[in-house]
Amino acid sequence: MTEKIQKTLRDSAGMRWMVLFFLAFAMFCSYIFMDILSPIKDLMQSTRGWDSTAFGTMQGSETFLNVFVFFLIFAGIILDKMGVRFTAVLSGAVMLVGATINWYAVTEMFQGSSLETWFNENLNYIPGFDELGISPFYLGMPASAKFAAIGFMIFGCGVEMAGITVSRGIVKWFKGHEMALAMGSEMALARLGVATCMIFSPVFAKMGGVIDVSRSVAFGVVLLMIALIMFIVYFFLDKKLDSQTGEAEEKDDPFKISDIGNILRSRGFWLVALLCVLYYSAIFPFQKYAVNMLQCNLTFTKLSPESFWAGNTVTVIQYVIMLIVAAAAFASNFSKGKTMKSVMQVVAVVALVIFCYMGYMRQSAETVFAVFPLLAVGITPILGNYVDHKGKAASMLVVGSLLLIACHLTFAFILPMFKGNAVGGIIVAYVTILVLGASFSLVPAALWPSVPKLVDAKIIGSAYALIFWIQNIGLWLFPLLIGKVLDQTNPQLVSDLKNGLISPEEAAMSYDYTVPLVMLACLGVAALILGFVLKIVDKKYGYRLEEPNITE
Ligand SMILES: C[C@H](N)C(=O)N[C@@H](CCCCN)C(=O)O
């Protein structure tokens, strides 16, 4: 008798990739919001009075509840107990609530309101947290930054919860299939989100010639509504899958809190978690300051408002070219024939060169930095595919860390030598940013798909949550530290600003970033050392990190 094989939704490649699209698109929207204020640090200073410390404190608040109230640990437990679809929708709703508060805080409506007065008079001292030096507020912090920080904290809970949920969702739908490629593609779309925000956030803020930073944030809020819809659609698909499989994974062997002990006893887990915090602390916090760092180091000529390059049409054209780079790189990864692959690669490279040229012609730091996530969009899926079929994840972590060190040192010491040399400076900036983008593809593409090799499937949600929690400590600390170090290593600038000798606009463009950049390079050195240790431990204990995910 022929046995009837029951096919489930995840056995269909089309269905799997459609599910991935919903999850990844939700992350795309979330990543746009995550960095929505990063390219307009100068405008936050000139229109809302946020100096570097206020900006850094507000940006760092994203991770505050996750780290100090252990929200991420709870999120992992919720995920392992309640499942992917419930947690996905919950995370979408939490992000939206936080983002809406954040938006209100930077609107004109908030200015002069009784809420502003309240925030000016309160939250200057948080017992316990202030003594430990970890308060998300301080005396003199602008009220709008304090309230925005509260919103960003709530958003941070949602976005990190979404991050672990999406990773677990991908493991659920793709294990045994193209898991690393799927994770790489999800991250690629997230990077496109960052590039989108680098380009469009300043456009929204400056629209119609009137500066209003809240328009940028409103744009992010609308996208988070779409993210929630994506998660709701995913909810129904995931429910259907569970009805087909009979929810075997959860029912047969339910998650227990004590399972977390198993994760914490794994040597491999700790090495990956520490490498993760060191590496990501040198990337994400940097991303929040990178545009300003370029503004301070590159020489831009002010374009007249009538100039073609200053207009919004060119922004849209540049964005379309960005999409062409992403689509061609992605298509080259999936093309079967050799000729088609090469054609796609040529299209991607040509479009990338045009993108860079336009960035230069537009004479703005945000359009130059937009190329950073773009390379990651193109190559993260390719590297994910490589991990699926060839392995070498631990080696990729080592190479990624090496590139990171080289880039931060170049920004610190070589880029400033080109101040005054507009073309030379832009070339150095582009090459360094592209190499950093390559590093930012290597490490994530190798790191996240390695986690299922280190822990049991039923505790994978908690394992991701613990890694995120450890990582979030760095993501909390370093934006704050960079802001403080910047103010402390630029004492003349800070005192001139205080005494009214320079305008906030001038100050925002004149910081010396050398010390913060060296600090980030040091993180890279520590990550590199851990990468080597991981390679040794992997060999000794047989985690199979260097082996492919798919055995052909
Ligand atoms: C910031 C966040 N905690 C993070 O680590 N993001 C990773 C992606 C993790 C996989 C998400 N499904 C990143 O590289 O962006």
160 lines ligand 1 (CB under 6 A): yes
358-373: average pLDDT: 87
What's the gap in Å between 147 CA and the centre of ligand 1? 26
| The pLDDT of residue 254 | 61
Average pLDDT, the chain: 90
63 lines ligand 1 (CB under 6 A): no
> Tokens 């805080």 appear where?
105
Q: For residue range 461-470, what is the model confidence (pLDDT) as tens digits?
A: 889 999 999 9
Instruction: Write the residue with the smallest CA distance to atom 5 of ligand 1.
Output: 468
Ligand 1: residue of 440, 448, 464, 470 to mutate (most ligand atoms within 8 A of CB) is 448
What are phi and psi for residue 453, nearest 5 degrees?
-80, -15
403 and 439 in contact (C-beta within 8 Å)? yes
| The pLDDT of residue 297 | 93
The sign of the CA dihedral 466, 467, 470, 476 is negative
Residue 552 has pLDDT above 70, yes or no: no
| The pLDDT of residue 127 | 80
Task: Tell how far CA 73 is from the center of its chain.
Answer: 20
Residue type, 471: Q
Using only C-alpha atoms, the chain has a radius of gyration, in whole angstroms, of: 23
d(CA 178, CA 221): 32
Structure tokens belonging to residue 281: 């602390």
467 lines ligand 1 (CB under 6 A): no
Element (H, E) at 86: helix 84-105
| Closest by Cα among 200, 196, 201 to 213 | 201
Confidence of residue 505 (pLDDT cuts 50, 70, 90): confident
Residue 4 has pLDDT above 70, yes or no: no
432 lines ligand 1 (CB under 6 A): no
d(CA 517, CA 31): 23
471 lines ligand 1 (CB under 6 A): yes
172 and 449 in contact (C-beta within 8 Å)? no
- For 225-267, the three-class secondary structure string (H helix, E strand, C coil) is HHHHHHHHHHHHHHHHHHHHHCCHHHHHCCCCCCHHHHHHCCH
Ligand 1: residue of 172, 471, 473, 475 to mutate (most ligand atoms within 8 A of CB) is 471
Class of domain 12-256+269-300+364-541: mainly alpha
d(CA 8, CA 155): 34
Residue 165 has pLDDT above 90, yes or no: yes
92 and 231 in contact (C-beta within 8 Å)? yes
Q: The pTM is what? A: 0.87
Distances (CA, A) of 431 to 289, 291, 315, 375, 436: 18, 15, 22, 11, 9
Tell me the domain boundaries of the chain. 12-256+269-300+364-541, 301-363
What's the gap in Å between 163 CA and the centre of ligand 1? 6
163 lines ligand 1 (CB under 6 A): yes
167 lines ligand 1 (CB under 6 A): yes
d(CA 45, CA 52): 8
d(CA 552, CA 549): 10
Structure tokens belonging to residue 248: 């075997």
Distances (CA, A) of 221 to 55, 210, 236: 20, 20, 24
Q: Which of 93-107, 141-155, 301-315, 377-391 has the lowest mean pLDDT?
A: 301-315
- 353-374 b/e with 16+ CB inside 10 Å = b? ebbbebbbbbbbbbbbbbbbbb
